[in-house]
């Protein structure tokens, strides 16, 4: 990425100091950075002692065969024991682990003692189905307690799980079952989505007719919606309430090697075919436990934590299940969508449970911004003390809105950068330490080494941009791509010798803080300048009429690529043709003023929706296809394919000129 074009971009100057009260009591202080810098491996060895090991590790990192890492390799532990049993043994059996809130409004609070019994029963049930350590179990469930119980039951018996988000189709499910060669599928009759039951079992039945899924012996089905027409394959399908409920609620956890596989999880597919990312046991649990403690400043006795992600994404694995439960947290688990039955549902849940820490995604924050400030204002959100963001770059305006309207203008916001591949948070402010900057993930956490390099792998100076790389192995790193070591090497380790290439563009500001600039595949080349999609999008979102923006570079004979922007306007107002044309000009001028004439979009198209992955991320590659009149690429990870038709219908309109 050329430096001159970045110099005039991102002029964000707002700064927010940590609240004094939080800083005074913070779990982690500035000293941790020093300690980790002085002895990185010693630092992680100390964090591993957060866990209860059956056999304490004596080795920290084995990096003798890079990039295949082994962490704490001679240690043994059981993940479920660490997330559940040990809290009960420590006298915390009556503490609520999960406050479940179903979309229709049904609720269930599960203590650690109950969770221990549920997980034990499920572990016994899987064992009865013949599942052994090492066998893969696919989990295709809505956001109900049984999803958490199933994951922990698999971990307890050493059977790696592979979660498939409940919104995926039979095709997507089938390819994931095939790739992992799963032996059992855990599913439900359905779940509640936007006020209605939405069936899941038919997708499993269909997926299991595909070649390559023959090794699935059993399908364990939770009754959630009570739909009447559930098709049944005798000898294969079994109801959860028949099998699990009759099991003993005692189960002795077995200790597994620290490098025993814990789960396979497919990336969200923003850039193309999803990759089956493999995570293992000891290093993963160490890092998710530490980062959850450090980044969210969790006080397990008093906090109520809520991560709004689905358990089907890595954020749900690391910050609904393994991080919070290993730390003995009390948390909220919500089944449904933010706007069912009304657009204040999330804020109502915060008020109801006294949520103190909220972790969500920019897409949700931008939706709330679009729906209007008056909605959260109707609820008491004063319990909140830390706010987090993950999944995409957060535009400074959305960040400030989040702090202002959800966090009462005082609550720190932590923008956390990480990936399915990294397993845990890597770059983030610490709420009691860092003076935050809206839109920046800022600093690698203690024990994490990241930097920004240019095309020739040289570290860029402060104030310049390039590619984000991780320069030292970390405990929760992916160990490989399932069944494809070569793709693992090619994708992450071949671009820059000896360094992990994250695939994201980034910039270091004058203080050396890191700003994520979006995926490298999305960077635009305009008249010899590299321009990041994130920066143009943030400039658009800083206009009071824009709630959300997606920017792509479309091939252009004069400028190599021309910037094409798709924007969602705030509020519900439908614009007339003339008003719309005037606004388009206003937005182009606004970006030109903020970022310089080179970054001024050639075209600006107001749209009602943007194409997103099922995890809510904008899929720019599809917008690029549209802008260049190509047939669309892989759309299987798209939430709603009709969105693309609506956008395509708008597009052949007259291109703007400059
Ligand atoms: P695929 O790898 O299949 O294209 P994906 O990259 O969307 O899918 P995830 O692992 O869910 O799959 O997402 C990780 C990516 O999300 C990061 O590489 C980065 O592009 C983006 N991301 C996550 N958190 C942040 C953040 N705080 N700031 C900027 N970008 C972020
Ligand atoms: Mg990725």
Which ligand neighbours the alpha carbon of 502 most closely? 1
pLDDT value at 4 more than 70? no
Residue list, ligand 1 pocket, CB within 6 Å = 267-271, 274, 314, 390-393, 415-417, 419-420, 441, 502-504, 516, 519, 615, 617
In the chain, what percentage of residues exceed pLDDT 70? Answer: 97
Q: Which two tokens stand for residue 17?
A: 């100091």
Residue 560, in any domain of the structure: yes
Structure tokens at 613: 């992955």
Ligand 1 pocket test, candidate residues 266, 310, 516, 533, most atoms within 8 A of CB: 516
| Residue of the CA atom closest to atom 11 of ligand 1 | 268
**Number of domains present in the structure of the chain:** 1
What is the structure's pLDDT at 556?
A: 87
Question: What is the model's pLDDT at position 649?
Answer: 74
Q: What is the pLDDT of residues 467-507, one digit of tens each?
A: 999 999 999 999 999 999 999 999 999 999 999 999 999 99
- pLDDT value of position 10: 61
* Mean pLDDT taken over the chain: 93
Task: Classify residue 264: in a domain, yes or no.
Answer: no
Tokens at 364, concatenated:
């949700």
Q: What residues make up the domain containing 541?
A: 527-650
* Residue to mutate (ligand 1; options 168, 268, 271, 364; most atoms within 8 A of CB): 268
What pLDDT score does 529 carry? Answer: 85
Query: Which atom from ligand 1 is nearest to the alpha carbon of 416?
Result: 27
pLDDT at 3 over 50: no
| Tokens describing residue 93 | 């059996």
pLDDT in tens, 264-286: 999 977 777 789 999 999 999 99
pLDDT > 90? residue 69: yes
What mean pLDDT is predicted for residues 522-534?
88
Q: How far apart are CA 523 and CA 505, in angstroms?
A: 8
Instruction: For residue 283, give the 3-state DSSP assignment.
Output: helix
Ligand 1 atom at minimum distance from 519 CA: 20
Q: Is residue 112 included in any domain, yes or no?
A: no
The answer to whether residue 458 sits within a structural domain is: no
Rounded CA gap, 463 and 466, in Å? 11
Predicted confidence band at 645 (pLDDT cuts at 50, 70, 90)?
confident
Q: What is the mean pLDDT of residues 555-562?
A: 88
Name which residue sits closest to atom 31 of ligand 1, judged by CA. Answer: 392
Q: Specify if 271 maps to a domain.
A: no
Kindly report, residue by residue over 207-263, the tens digit of the pLDDT. Answer: 999 999 999 999 999 999 999 889 999 999 999 999 999 999 999 999 999 999 999
Per-residue model confidence (pLDDT) at position 9: 57
631 has pLDDT over 90? no
Helix, strand, coil percentages for the chain (3-state, nearest 5): 35, 20, 45
The Cα 393–Cα 515 span in angstroms is: 8
Percent of the chain scoring above 90 in pLDDT: 83
Q: Is residue 585 part of a domain?
A: yes
Residue-level pLDDT at 638: 75
Q: Strands 76-77 and 96-101: what pairing?
A: unpaired
Residue with CA nearest ligand 1 atom 1: 269
The pTM for the full model equals 0.94
pLDDT band for 626, please (50, 70, 90 cuts): confident
Would you give the distance in Å from CA 425 to the centre of its chain?
A: 10
Q: How far is the CA of 418 from the centre of ligand 2 (A)?
A: 9
Q: Is the pLDDT score of 632 beyond 90?
A: no
Higher pLDDT, 637 or 155: 155
Mean pLDDT of 186-197: 96
Is 527's pLDDT higher than 90?
A: no
Kindly state the average pLDDT of the residues 615-639. 83
572 has pLDDT over 70: no
Q: Is 261 helix (H, G, I), strand (E, B) or coil?
A: strand
Judge whether 595 lies within some domain: yes
Output the CA 421–ligand 2 centroid distance in Å.
8
Q: What is the Å distance from ligand 1's center to 506 Cα? A: 13
Q: Which atom of ligand 1 lies nearest, measured to the CA of 313?
A: 11
**What HEC string does 399-445 produce?**
HHHHHHHHCCCCCCEEECECCCCCCCCCECCCCCCCCECCCCCECEC
Mean pLDDT for 25-36 is 98
The pLDDT value recorded for residue 570 is 87
Confidence of residue 573 (pLDDT cuts 50, 70, 90): low
How far is ligand 1, taken at its centre, from the CA of residue 157, in Å?
31
Which CATH number goes with the domain that contains 631?
3.30.300.30
Residue to substitute in 175, 504, 519, 537 for testing ligand 1 pocket (most ligand atoms within 8 angstroms of CB): 504
User: Closest ligand to 621 CA?
Assistant: 1
Place of tokens 């956890």: 253
pLDDT digits over 413-472, tens only? 999 999 999 999 999 999 999 999 999 999 999 999 999 999 999 999 999 999 999 999
- Answer yes or no: is pLDDT of 35 > 80: yes
- pLDDT value, residue 654: 35
Q: Is residue 564 part of a domain?
A: yes
- Out of 271, 399, 419, mutate this one to test ligand 1's pocket (max ligand atoms within 8 Å of CB): namely 419
- Kindly report which listed range (11-15, 108-112, 345-349, 571-575) carries the lowest average pLDDT score: 571-575
**415 or 522: which leads in pLDDT:** 415
Q: Identify the pLDDT of residue 270.
A: 73
CA of 268 to the centre of ligand 2 (A): 7
Q: Which residues of 165-196 are buried (b: 16+ CB within 10 A; e: fewer)?
A: bbbbebebbbbbbbbbbbbbbbbbbbbbbeee
Q: Which two tokens stand for residue 500?
A: 């992990």
């Amino acid at each position: 990425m050329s430096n001159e074009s970045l110099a005039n971009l991102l002029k964000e100057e707002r700064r927010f100091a940590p609240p004094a009260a939080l800083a005074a009591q913070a779990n982690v202080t500035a000293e941790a950075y020093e300690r980790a810098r002085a002895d990185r491996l010693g630092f992680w060895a100390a964090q591993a002692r957060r866990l209860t090991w059956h056999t304490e590790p004596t080795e920290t990192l084995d990096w003798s065969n890079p990039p295949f890492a082994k962490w704490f390799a001679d240690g043994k532990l059981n993940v479920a024991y660490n997330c559940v049993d040990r809290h009960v043994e420590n006298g915390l059996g009556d503490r609520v682990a999960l406050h479940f809130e179903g979309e229709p409004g049904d609720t269930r609070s599960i203590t650690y003692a109950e969770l221990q019994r549920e997980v034990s029963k499920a572990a016994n049930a899987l064992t009865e189905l013949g599942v052994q350590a090492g066998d893969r179990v696919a989990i295709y469930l809505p956001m109900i307690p049984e999803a958490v119980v199933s994951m922990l039951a698999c971990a307890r018996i050493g059977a790696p799980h592979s979660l498939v988000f409940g919104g995926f189709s039979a095709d997507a499910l089938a390819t994931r079952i095939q790739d992992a060669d799963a032996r059992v599928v855990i599913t439900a009759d359905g779940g509640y989505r936007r006020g209605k039951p939405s069936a899941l079992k038919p997708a499993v039945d269909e997926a299991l007719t595909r070649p390559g899924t023959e090794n699935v012996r059993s399908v364990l089905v939770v009754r959630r919606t009570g739909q009447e027409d559930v098709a049944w394959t005798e000898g294969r399908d079994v109801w959860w309430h028949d099998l699990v409920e009759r099991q003993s609620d005692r189960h002795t956890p077995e200790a597994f090697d620290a490098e025993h596989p814990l789960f396979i999880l497919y990336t969200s597919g923003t850039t193309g075919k999803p990759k089956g990312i493999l995570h293992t046991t000891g290093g993963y649990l160490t890092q998710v436990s530490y980062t959850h403690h450090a980044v969210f400043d969790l006080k397990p006795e008093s906090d109520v934590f809520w991560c709004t992600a689905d358990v089907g994404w890595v954020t749900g694995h690391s910050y609904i299940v393994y991080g919070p439960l290993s730390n003995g947290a009390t948390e909220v688990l919500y089944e449904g969508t933010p706007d069912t039955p009304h657009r204040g549902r999330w804020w109502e849940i915060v008020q109801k449970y006294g949520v103190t820490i909220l972790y969500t995604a920019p897409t949700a924050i931008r939706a709330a911004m679009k729906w209007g400030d008056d909605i959260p204002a109707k609820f008491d959100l004063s319990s909140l003390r830390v706010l987090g963001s993950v999944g995409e770059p957060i535009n400074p305006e959305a960040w400030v809105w989040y702090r202002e309207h959800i966090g009462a203008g005082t609550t720190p916001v932590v923008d956390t950068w990480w990936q399915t591949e990294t397993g845990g948070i890597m770059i983030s402010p610490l709420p009691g330490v860092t003076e935050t900057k809206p839109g920046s993930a800022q600093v690698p956490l203690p024990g994490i080494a990241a930097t920004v390099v240019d095309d020739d792998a040289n570290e860029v100076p402060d104030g310049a941009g390039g590619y984000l790389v991780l320069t030292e192995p970390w405990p929760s790193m992916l160990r490989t791509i399932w069944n494809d070591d070569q793709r693992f090497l090619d994708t992450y380790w071949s671009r820059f010798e000896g360094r992990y290439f994250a695939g994201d563009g980034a910039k270091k500001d004058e203080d050396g803080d890191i700003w994520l600039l979006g995926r490298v595949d999305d960077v635009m080349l305009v008249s010899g300048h590299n321009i990041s999609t994130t920066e143009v999008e943030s400039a658009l979102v800083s206009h009071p009429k824009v709630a959300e923006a997606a920017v792509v570079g479309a091939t252009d004979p004069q400028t190599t690529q021309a910037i094409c922007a798709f924007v969602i306007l705030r509020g519900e107002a439908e614009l007339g043709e003339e008003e719309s044309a005037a606004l388009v000009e206003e937005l182009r001028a606004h970006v030109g003023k903020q970022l310089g004439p080179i970054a001024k979009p050639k075209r600006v198209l107001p749209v009602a929706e943007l194409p997103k992955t099922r995890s809510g991320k904008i899929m720019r590659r599809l917008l690029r296809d549209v802008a260049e009149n190509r047939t669309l690429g892989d759309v299987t990870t798209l939430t709603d394919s009709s969105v693309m038709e609506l956008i395509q219908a708008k597009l052949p309109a007259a291109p703007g000129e400059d």
